[in-house]
Amino acid sequence: MDSMNYLDYVDPGYRTKDHELTCTYYLEHSKDIDFRWAAGAIAAESSIGTWTSLSTMKENIKELAARVYRLDKENNTIKVAYPPEVFEAGNMPQILSSITGNIYGLEELRRLRLLDVSFPRDLTEKFLGPNLGINEIKNRVGAKDRPLVGTIVKPKLGLNSEDHSKVAKKSWKNGLDIVKDDENLTSMQFNEFDERVVKTLEKKHLVEEKTGEKKLYFPNVTAPVSEMKRRADLVIENGGKYVMIDILTAGFSSLQEIRDYLEKKDRDIGIHAHRAQHAAYTRLKDHGISMLSIAKFARLVGVDNLHSGTVIGKMEGQESEVKRIYSFLRSDWYDKKTTIPVASGGLHPGLVPKVVELLGRDIVIQAGGGVHGHPSGTEAGSKALRDAADAVMEGISLNEKSKKSSELKKALNKWGPKKSN
Ligand SMILES: O=C(O)[C@H](O)COP(=O)(O)O
Ligand SMILES: [Mg+2]
């Protein structure tokens, strides 16, 4: 009864409606396939269609078809509009199974990249979004106008819980706002989660008492979801105010579960999101899923901090793309709070002015090697990083600042304004 083929999903004159979700895709199709046909295949497979006509198709179902409403052959991009009925509100995995699902394996395509996605208001409503918002995060450490500064305890694996907590203490004591676990540090034989969290939070409270400053610790709770909840409980019981999750390896279902769990359990808790594995989706510019799209999924579900690129650190990241992600995370977006973008990976004190120039002040600057690789150790490295941030606030150069900061001077001598071993 149905004669719908891929071309029926292409309608360049179609005007999108406010309640539709729209996606921009980059695509390269196989040689023997027409661009329009390939575009239609994407709209079909990601909504109601398949490779052949169906005896079970009905007229009212055809109304649920996604439509390709723009075709730009020159730039190999298309725009697709989806009626909201094809999505389960509040179910991020289902949304991803549609717009980033089967279509990547279609034989008609050689490459496919989700460049951007635009959510209609209705579809955002069942997601909680971030709990804290940038202002609250900055207030928590009393950083009004300056970027937050933090460190990742290094070596990333190997320290025992006692040594980990001592490194954390030294970092906080010398001016850093944040200490976080690394992405692959969870509960290890040599450093068990519970012991680490108890000891490190104890040290945090000691430093807070001594300095009168508020500090943050992001323990990495990443694990199967029931264990993640237990770990989050332990953090809360010990006075912690944040958990860290590797959102892509843990998956959006677990992230949603944890976000909902914390909402009910304790409205004070923030989520720091590490994006380990993102480059498997984002790195090839003609394939995968853009980091901007991932940032939208993450903010919608509700992360407070998100690793979003540095432009100049150890990880690849094009300036224009990174800037777009930062500006999205800080923008007004329906009723959702903002997410603070985190610059992390290959940074050191010498790069702080450039990071701020590129990405602004409403950010977290994190350095692991750039703190614990300081020639005089963690204390000096922490102070050097904080001094570099303060220099930017004071409007003076790092060289000027280093006249009164031997720690910064040594950091600049080791790393200069560039990266080196
Ligand atoms: O997870 C991160 O962002 C990294 O641990 C950063 O480490 P680095 O500052 O030593 O590159
Ligand atoms: Mg890391």
CA distance 208 to 136: 18
Question: Ligand 1 in contact with 347 (CB < 6 A)?
Answer: yes
Note the ipTM here. Answer: 0.98
User: How far does the centroid of ligand 1 lie from the alpha carbon of residue 93, in Å?
Assistant: 28
Whether 179 is in the pocket of ligand 1, judged by its Cβ within 6 Å, is no
Annotated binding site for substrate: 156, 275, 307, 344-346, 366-369
Ligand closest to the CA atom of residue 373 = 1
Pairwise CA distance, residues 36 & 249, whole Å: 35
Known catalytic membership, residue 154: yes
H/E stretch holding 231 reads: helix 225-237
What pLDDT does 418 receive?
Answer: 60
Catalytic residue among 138, 169, 241, 274: 274
Strand partners, 217: 179
147: cis peptide before it, omega within 30°?
Answer: no
Give the position, in ligand 1's atom list, of the atom nearest the Cα of 345.
11
Contact 243, 232 (CB under 8 A): yes
Tens digits of residue pLDDT in 189-201: 999 999 999 999 9
Q: What pLDDT does 1 receive?
A: 37
Residue at token pair 């602004």: 360
- Ligand 2 centroid – CA 359 distance (Å): 20
Point out the catalytic residue in the list 79, 154, 374, 414. 154
In 309-419 the beta strands, taken as DSSP E runs, fall at 340-344, 364-366
Instruction: Report whether residue 182 contacts ligand 1, using a CB cutoff of 6 Å.
Output: yes
Q: Residue 29's beta-bridge partner residues?
A: 109
Q: Is 344 in the pocket of ligand 1 (CB under 6 A)?
A: yes
**Ligand 1 nearest-atom number relative to CA 156:** 5
Q: What is the reported pTM?
A: 0.97
Give the Å distance between the CA of 387 and the centre of ligand 2: 23
Counting atoms of ligand 1 from 1, which one is nearest the CA of 371?
Answer: 9
Could you give the domains of the chain? 9-124 (3.30.70.150), 134-415 (3.20.20.110)
Contact 42, 105 (CB under 8 A): no
- Distance in angstroms (rounded) separating the CA atoms of residues 85 and 354: 46
Amino acid of residue 382 = S
Q: Which of 348, 319, 318 has its CA nearest to residue 419?
A: 348
Distances (CA, A) of 415 to 247, 275, 409, 419: 31, 26, 10, 6
Which residues are known binding-site members? 156, 180, 182-183, 275, 307, 344-346, 366-369
What is the predicted pLDDT for the residue at 420? 47
CA of 154 to the centre of ligand 2 (A): 9
Distance 152 CA to ligand 1 centre (A): 6
373 lines ligand 1 (CB under 6 A): no
Q: Tell me if 175 sits within 8 A of 214, measured CB to CB.
A: no
Residue ranges for the chain with pLDDT beneath 70:
1-3, 418-421
Specify whether the CB–CB gap between 260 and 90 falls below 8 A. no
User: Amino acid identity of 326?
Assistant: Y
| Joined tokens for residue 317 | 């990241």
**Per-residue pLDDT at 85:** 98
Measured from the CB, is residue 345 less than 6 Å from ligand 1? yes
